[in-house]
Amino acid sequence: MEEIANGILKHIGAFQEGDLKEVCSRIFIKYVLEEPDMTPEKKVLPGLMKAAQDASDGSFDKLHTFGLAIRALNIAGMKPARPFAFLNEWNKPAALEEFVRSLDWKNPWQTSIEVLHAATPQMRVWLMKGIDATEFFEALEEFQAPNGGWGDASDLHQMAGAFHHIPIYRAARREMPRLVVLADMIMDLEFKRMEFGAMDAAYVLEYAYEQRAVKFEECGGFLEHMEGLLRSGLEKMAEPGALTLVPFAQTLGTLCRMKQLHQYKDAWHPNLWRAQF
């Protein structure tokens, strides 16, 4: 697996310039693969973040952008130029429950991203303060599908919904329901190349394995296929941007943890959504 990691780092190359998404992606890859030198990315991250934030409440154009920025900021060990005051909108369970119910669950891939970045920072605080999140999770689980995914869409999009909710459950120290059927559904999905969908599926399967909802020997064929996609993808890659390489790094980490090889870091750990500085 070390040669795959070296291949990813070779493709990412030396930093020249990039927008906020590109810089955050480079930070995620270096974090997962334990590349210590983030000096070029750290130099430009604060300015890019400040330019992307609303001056009044510290919000971004999308919650997804906030999710990229907050994780990169925590990995880099830096503070935001502007506090994330917009998160106060969801600092009570009733407000977050209402937010969940207001979303369009026919598009769970995107909807779950909204929930992920609104809820995960709150879960960390609520757990420390002893605030009961039961009503929020009851509302969220109303939209869980029988196959263990979320929303009313294809299996792939429902699986992505589950993937985006894992940091929320981990932050709250709760177990996601229906993991057995979710793991079964994932192993029936077909992936022809390494991309975000494949990354999501591998990560959800790792989570199900951690929760003892699936046995390692049941995952063998899926894991070997993921490794094959990593190797073939790197061989065919021309001049990728960092965003293209994120699924490669994260999936490599997933495979190595499941196979009990090198314990690469996890760019989806809930602690990376720490929003109070």
Q: What is the pLDDT along the chain (277 residues), one digit of tens a residue?
A: 999 999 999 888 888 778 999 999 999 999 999 998 999 999 999 999 999 999 999 999 999 999 999 999 999 999 998 999 999 999 999 999 999 999 999 999 999 999 999 999 999 899 999 999 999 999 999 999 999 999 999 999 999 999 999 999 999 999 999 999 999 999 999 999 999 999 999 999 999 999 999 999 999 999 999 999 999 999 988 766 788 899 999 999 999 999 999 899 999 999 999 998 7
Q: What are phi and psi of 46, to 5 degrees?
A: -60, -40
Instruction: Please state the domain extents for the chain.
Output: 2-273
List, in order, residues 6 or more apart from 154 with CB less than 8 Å away.
none
pLDDT at 140: 98
Listed as own residue / partner, the contacts of 159-162 with beta carbons closer than 8 Å and 24 or more positions apart are: 159/185, 159/186, 159/189, 159/197, 159/200, 159/201, 159/204, 160/108, 160/109, 160/112, 160/197, 160/200, 161/108, 161/109, 161/111, 161/112, 162/112, 162/204
Which amino acid is it at 192? K
Instruction: Check: CB of residue 268 under 8 Å from CB of residue 8.
Output: no
Look at residue 147 in the predicted model and tell me its pLDDT.
Answer: 98
CA–CA gap between residue 169 and residue 157 (Å, rounded) = 19
What residue type is 129 in one-letter code? K
Of 154, 243, 145, 238, residue with least CA distance to 199: 243
Inter-CA distances, 34 with 11, 12, 41, Å: 15, 14, 15
Q: Kindly report, residue by residue over 195-227, the tens digit of the pLDDT.
A: 999 999 999 999 999 999 999 999 999 999 999
pLDDT at residue 16, rounded to an integer: 75
Q: For residues 122 and 11, what is the distance between their CA atoms, to the nearest angstrom?
A: 36
| Chain Cα centroid distance, residue 212 | 21
**pLDDT for residue 242:** 80
